[in-house]
Amino acid sequence: MDYNSILVLGGLGFAVAFFLSLVHSALLKREDHLKKNVLGFLPGSNCRACGFENCETSAGSLGEKTTAVVFCAGGGNCADKYLYRGVKTCSAAARIFRGKKECIFGCIGYGDCVKSCVFKAISHDVGEVPVINKEICTGCGLCVSACPKKIISLVPSRYDVHVKCSSLNEGRHVREICSTGCISCGICVKICPTKAIKIENNLAVIDYAKCSNCGLCVDRCPQNTIERILPVV
């Protein structure tokens, strides 16, 4: 009897398994135990129903819950540059002179993020900045990649206070075009008890590692740029 086929295939199988385990142990020494345990409970079929790319990223995201935050409060408060009558999507509008808003950093307001969200966690009126429901949002990041202006980011859910502006324009210019943009006045920097806020490139930026959620900056911001985002009731 001819045993060659059995030997070759069996040998190949063992060789593949051996080599893979070797590479695995050589490259990935520090495995995240929480992630590994969670992964054991998932089906592992990578169906993408949870909104994540595959089961592994889904398991990795469970360590700390994150929420998507739109870093713009413009919408109706921000002046228009021209009358736009094209296809009603943000990605189309963003290709014409960087969008119809005077502020090239701001939300265009046609709701590409709303369409991308598989959980219906985002609601919005046309022309206004979308509102993300903190309770429903799972932090999958689909809206982050859908936004052509890249003003949505994932932030750990335990922080509520956000600077709702992404404009790097000078304060004087921001004041002309937008009634809620950051004018980099620096009041929040002075009032912050934990020194978590810094002005970088004409924009106040919160260092979330230092933020204590106290909300003093929310009350003192002259432009109402800094907002406390609470779960939608």
Which residues are at the interface with another protein (CB under 8 A)?
A: 4-5, 8-9, 12-13, 16, 19-20, 23-24, 27-28, 46, 53-54, 87, 89, 91-92, 95, 145
Q: Closest CB to another protein among 54 and 157? A: 54
Q: Closest CB to another protein among 26 and 83? A: 26
> Closest by alpha carbon to 226, among 159, 143, 176, 170?
159
Q: Which pairs from 169-174 meet CB under 8 Å and 24+ separation? A: 169/103, 169/105, 169/202, 170/202, 171/202, 174/103, 174/202
- CB-CB contact of 203 with 105 (8 Å): no
Q: Closest CB to another protein among 87 and 232? A: 87
Q: Closest CB to another protein among 120 and 172? A: 120
- CB-CB contact of 196 with 102 (8 Å): no
CB 182, min distance to another protein, A: 28
Here the tokens at position 175 are: 């004041």
CB 168, min distance to another protein, A: 23
CB 115, min distance to another protein, A: 11
